[in-house]
């Protein structure tokens, strides 16, 4: 992998070093070769390099080709089908049909393109507010920038929770472990260092002093220099090879399954119609044109537009409710969610942590405990969390005058503690702060005032009681311990965290959130069960759950889960709602188990230890204040860490799904009914039931009537439970409602043939002009009846209630359906009638049509209600 290729500025001389070659150089040689230094680049150097190498993005979003973005929509199989039909019509000289089909294409593609572009622009502005940043050195000063502004030679500062923003060569590292799972699929952490290594015979990923874009830091700290950015990174090369293949959700697969179901259905139907018309009528060219028109009529060509506009509108609406959707299809998954797994901090509590107590092991206030905790938080360079910030905000000790830092042992989620080593009062003092149980495991003495006593097992239980008492009162408690070393010892590791002296506890209070109880109740009403997954101890968790009204019969700890067999583990996870003392791996295992049980699972997390769980969940949810790796792993980002905000998002997801299903039900049942009507008409009638141009115009007008669906209201009772994609229910609905549509087509056939005398077409002595009029009269009658009935029946299908009485459509849907129904009624009397072969209908036709509409609406409502009663999952 070469260093970089130039984009511009021939006067600029780029540093010449490849990523692999940089691994074999020592730090000073490497910095010299890449024209950088330990203080970082200057702003002027960085700007020149940015102009030369371009933005640090795998694919340059700024140079997105709008024409290609528009044309890619023609890859949809439904759109391809219409394009082919339009081209054939044009080739065969049927300009009228070609114009109508191109009109359908325009309606579907343009509307989806405009709405999605508008949505994407708005959402991208919001996503920019929650973009990840990286910490770099420029001019010797630390500053945060967005990763896109990184250039080769930039010096990046890395700590636990950081995302590797480009391909780097490390120049210093301390207990530095990264996850390369995004690149290799290997979940085990990889230790990295800054030592030169031989690259011969090794892949870049095997070189331990190189870090790659897309990886994330699990623990430790390091400094790295950017070698490769943008599309030249390892991650960028993978992206190019994969062609940015889209990972399909269950919703994407469902839409695809329905699309191909309709296409297969259409192909069979068109073949049958083509041969039936050709054999019975004799004109194979006319049979082909009629078959193509039928193909258009049976194609749900508005589906891409309906889906896109619904999802885009949902994303815009959710953004106004402080929910940012990073991937549109995740909106439906949010609405389908059965279980929400969440940490308690910031969701059940206010995320406003205050240091309340600093006490020795006898629960007496201790300045030593505060001072040692302060020095630990002050000197640590890893992930500085809210607890560290609370310690530093509690006091303002001038520690730099009395001590200096020697070394550091960074935090990780296995040890659950971290240490700093300082030169203090003539010794090198290791100060360790972390989870109480983990600190107890490495202590063999404890201190009260200036006296130090052995920490025998019998005393441990007594000392833990103070910790448990604080936890039971809702405090988050950390233990502080220390050990003196000789000043001769300069380098320290995790193995030195032993034989420590327990100094005392620091206790933090995070008040319960007032809105949590209301939010949990709202989620339960919406059919979403809430499960609390936390790394905190069970006593604190129980107190917080009690304060917010969450009933807890039993809290399951990580230790208990670890001892369970798979069957018992699954039963426990499904039965219980609160889990404490969990490791990141256990959170992921719980989510996996819930998903394997057929549930749609959301996970709300914001820490670096939540990244794997966020990726595993069907819906990964984070917040704008989360760690970089959490925000990158999430599908949805909340601008406010609140369950109430999330409840709004869930309801919006169900509205989106509900409106998409309305169109799919309409298309499926209408097409299935049209099959029966068309086949019967071809067999029974002495002429074609409609001209090809009439079928096309009928379909174009019907498509336009459905444009209001994405803006329709959704019934409150539909929003009360999770909504999931189920193709089998759509097939059942099609089998139930399709014949109802066909039944009233046949009553119209009978009406036109016998009441309006169209049967005289075959009578001896009927003139050619009379035959032409009778044929056109029949065509007009069915054209008007079929268009008005299938346009207005959406008001029946859109709700399980009585339409126009118990449930009203939105003004937009009323406007589009009512407008098209009016056009259908006026068209036979307009100047355009002759263009498409229509004639004025007798006035006596309209009472019959009103009777047909009333009977159709009544029967369709009864059949729909019966279907929903028998299939409550779809109600």
* Catalytic sites, residue numbers: 343
β 443-448/451-454 pair status: antiparallel
Non-local CB neighbours of 442 within 8 Å, separated by 6+ positions: 417, 432, 481, 497, 498, 499, 500
Say whether 217 sits in a helix, a strand or coil: strand
Two structure tokens written together for 753? 């043939």
Contact 193, 243 (CB under 8 A): no
Contact 807, 715 (CB under 8 A): yes
> Is the Cα dihedral 669, 670, 675, 677 positive or negative?
positive
Contact 475, 356 (CB under 8 A): yes
Kind and range of the H or E element at 617? none
Contact 329, 252 (CB under 8 A): yes
Kind and range of the H or E element at 601? strand 601-604
Non-local CB neighbours of 565 within 8 Å, separated by 6+ positions: none
Contact 628, 161 (CB under 8 A): yes
Two structure tokens written together for 784? 């008007």
Euclidean distance between CA atoms 648 and 62, whole angstroms: 32
Euclidean distance between CA atoms 164 and 156, whole angstroms: 9
Kindly report the number of other CB atoms within 10 A of residue 768's CB atom: 7
Measured CA angle at 541 (ends 537, 543), to 5 deg: 125
In the numeric block, the tokens 């008001």 are attached to: 795
Say whether 873 sits in a helix, a strand or coil: helix
β 636-638/619-623 pair status: parallel
Torsion angle (degrees, nearest 10) of CA 267, 270, 271, 276: 160
β 427-435/417-424 pair status: antiparallel
DSSP 129: H
Euclidean distance between CA atoms 58 and 166, whole angstroms: 10
Contact 194, 171 (CB under 8 A): yes
Euclidean distance between CA atoms 455 and 433, whole angstroms: 18
Non-local CB neighbours of 479 within 8 Å, separated by 6+ positions: 433, 434, 435, 436, 439, 440, 467, 502, 504, 505
Euclidean distance between CA atoms 192 and 687, whole angstroms: 80
Q: What are phi and psi of 670, to 5 degrees?
A: -65, -45
Query: How far is CA 223 from each of CA 161, 162, 210, 381, rounded to the nearest angstrom?
Result: 14, 12, 11, 12
Q: For the CA atoms of the chain, what is the radius of gyration? A: 35
Kindly report the number of other CB atoms within 10 A of residue 576's CB atom: 16
Helices (H), 130-227: 181-184
Query: How far is CA 232 from each of CA 58, 358, 867, rounded to the nearest angstrom?
Result: 8, 51, 56
β 578-580/529-533 pair status: parallel
């Amino acid at each position: 992998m070469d260093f970089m290729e130039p984009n511009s500025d021939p006067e600029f001389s780029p540093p010449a070093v490849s990523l692999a070659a940089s691994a074999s150089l020592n730090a000073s040689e490497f910095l010299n070769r890449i024209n950088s230094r330990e203080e970082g680049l200057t702003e002027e150097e960085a700007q020149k390099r940015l102009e030369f190498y371009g933005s640090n993005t795998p694919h340059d979003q700024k140079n997105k080709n709008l024409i290609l973005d528009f044309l890619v929509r023609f890859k949809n199989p439904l759109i391809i089908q219409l394009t082919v039909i339009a081209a054939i019509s044009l080739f065969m000289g049927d300009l009228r049909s070609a114009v109508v089909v191109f009109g359908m294409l325009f309606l579907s593609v343009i509307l989806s393109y405009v709405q999605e572009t508008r949505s994407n622009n708005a959402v991208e502005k919001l996503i920019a507010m929650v973009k990840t940043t990286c910490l770099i050195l420029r001019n010797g000063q630390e500053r945060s920038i967005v990763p896109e502004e990184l250039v080769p030679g930039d010096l990046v500062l890395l700590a636990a929770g950081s995302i590797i923003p480009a391909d780097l060569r490390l120049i210093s590292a301390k207990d530095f472990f990264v996850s390369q799972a995004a690149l290799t699929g290997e979940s085990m952490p990889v230790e990295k260092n800054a030592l030169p290594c031989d690259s011969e015979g090794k892949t870049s990923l095997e070189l331990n002093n190189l870090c790659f874009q897309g990886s994330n830091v699990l623990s430790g700290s390091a400094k790295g220099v950017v070698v490769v950015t943008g599309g030249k990174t390892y991650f960028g090369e993978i992206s190019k090879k994969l062609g940015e293949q889209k990972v399909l959700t269950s919703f994407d697969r469902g839409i695809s399954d329905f699309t191909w179901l309709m296409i297969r259905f259409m192909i069979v139907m068109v073949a049958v119609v083509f041969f039936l018309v050709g054999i019975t009528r004799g004109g194979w060219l006319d049979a082909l044109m009629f078959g193509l028109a039928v193909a258009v009529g049976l194609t749900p060509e508005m589906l891409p537009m309906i889906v896109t506009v619904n999802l885009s509108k949902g994303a815009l609406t959710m953004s106004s409710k402080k929910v940012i959707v990073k991937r549109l299809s995740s909106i439906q998954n949010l609405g389908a969610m059965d279980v929400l797994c969440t940490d308690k901090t910031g969701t059940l509590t206010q995320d406003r942590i205050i240091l309340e107590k600093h006490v020795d092991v006898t629960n007496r206030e201790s300045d030593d405990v505060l001072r040692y905790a302060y020095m630990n938080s002050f000197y640590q360079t890893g992930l500085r969390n809210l607890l560290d910030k609370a310690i530093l905000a509690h006091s303002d000790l001038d520690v730099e005058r009395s001590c200096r830092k020697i070394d550091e042992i960074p935090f990780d989620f296995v040890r659950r503690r971290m240490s700093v080593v300082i030169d203090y009062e003539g010794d090198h003092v290791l100060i360790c702060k972390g989870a109480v149980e983990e600190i107890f495991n490495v202590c063999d003495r404890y201190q009260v005032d200036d006296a130090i006593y052995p920490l025998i097992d019998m005393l441990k239980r007594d000392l833990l009681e103070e910790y448990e008492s604080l936890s039971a009162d809702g405090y988050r408690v950390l233990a502080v311990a220390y050990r003196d070393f000789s000043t001769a010892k300069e380098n320290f590791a995790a193995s030195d965290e032993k034989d420590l002296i327990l100094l005392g506890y620091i206790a933090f209070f995070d008040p319960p959130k007032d809105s949590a109880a209301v939010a949990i109740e709202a989620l339960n009403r919406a059919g979403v069960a809430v499960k609390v997954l936390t790394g905190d101890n069970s006593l604190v968790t129980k107190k917080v759950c009690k304060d917010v009204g969450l009933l807890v019969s039993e809290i399951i700890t990580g230790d208990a889960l670890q001892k369970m067999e798979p069957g018992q583990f699954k039963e426990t996870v499904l039965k219980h709602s609160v889990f404490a003392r969990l490791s990141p791996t256990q959170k992921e295992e719980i989510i996996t188990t819930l998903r394997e049980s057929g549930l749609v699972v959301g996970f709300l997390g914001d820490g670096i230890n939540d990244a794997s769980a966020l990726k595993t969940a069907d819906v990964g949810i984070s917040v704008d204040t989360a760690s970089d790796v959490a925000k990158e792993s999430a599908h949805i980002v909340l601008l406010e860490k609140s369950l109430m905000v999330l409840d709004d998002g869930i309801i919006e997801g169900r509205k989106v799904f509900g409106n998409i299903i309305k169109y799919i039900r309409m298309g499926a049942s209408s097409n299935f009914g049209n099959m029966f009507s068309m086949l019967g008409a071809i067999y029974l009638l002495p002429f074609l039931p409609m001209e090809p141009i009439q079928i096309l115009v009928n379909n174009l007008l019907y498509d336009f009537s459905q444009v209001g669906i994405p803006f329709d209201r959704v019934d409150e009772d539909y929003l009360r439970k999770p909504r999931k994609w189920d193709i089998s229910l759509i097939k059942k609905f099609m089998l139930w409602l399709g014949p109802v549509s066909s039944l009233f087509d046949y009553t119209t056939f009978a009406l036109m043939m016998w009441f309006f005398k169209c049967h005289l077409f075959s009578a001896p002595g009927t003139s050619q002009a009379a035959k032409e009029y009778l044929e056109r009269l029949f065509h007009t009658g069915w054209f008007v009846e079929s268009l008005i009935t299938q346009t207005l029946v959406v008001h029946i299908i859109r709700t399980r209630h009585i339409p126009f009485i118990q449930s009203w459509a939105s003004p937009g849907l009323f406007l589009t359906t009512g407008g098209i129904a009016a056009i259908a009624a006026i068209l036979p009397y307009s100047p355009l009638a002759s263009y498409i072969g229509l004639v004025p209908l007798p006035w006596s036709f309209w009472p019959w049509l009103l009777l047909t509409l009333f009977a159709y609406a009544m029967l369709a409502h009864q059949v729909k209600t019966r279907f929903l009663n028998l299939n409550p999952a779809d109600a």
